[in-house]
Amino acid sequence: ASYFKKVGMRQNHTGEPGTLGRVEIKTVVNFQAGVGATPVWEDRNFDRALAEIVRREFDRLGRQAIELLQFEAEVVMLEEEDEVRQRLQYIEALRARRQGKAS
């Protein structure tokens, strides 16, 4: 099962469902009101609250994360299309050469 689907899936050895053990979020906001002012902001309370929202919405957000991962993988595949075509042409040339030597 995928990483995401393990949450809620029954474990073979206990029959208990898998659970979301930990959600950790650390945000950093870059904002400087003026010269010499604080340029980086962090808020542990906000991070804690945001992590709780992610925990509550894990199913919905997890599905969105899987969709994003699939999209990113497709983009990489499309970017590699020319390289794959070149490799196939090379393989076809190798095969033709070997067949010519075998004759």
What tens digit of pLDDT does each residue of 20-49 get? 999 999 999 999 999 999 999 999 999 999
Contact 11, 1 (CB under 8 A): no
Q: Bridge-partner residues for 40, per DSSP?
A: 30
**Does the predicted model carry a pTM greater than 0.75?**
no
Q: Tell me which residue of 85, 60, 75, 84 sits closest to 4, measured CA to CA.
A: 60
In this predicted model, what pLDDT tens digit does every residue of 39-81 receive, in sequence order?
999 999 999 999 999 999 999 999 999 999 999 999 999 999 9
Q: Percentage helix, strand, coil, to 5, in the chain?
A: 60, 10, 35
- Amino acid 101: pLDDT: 80
pLDDT, average across residues 14-22 = 94
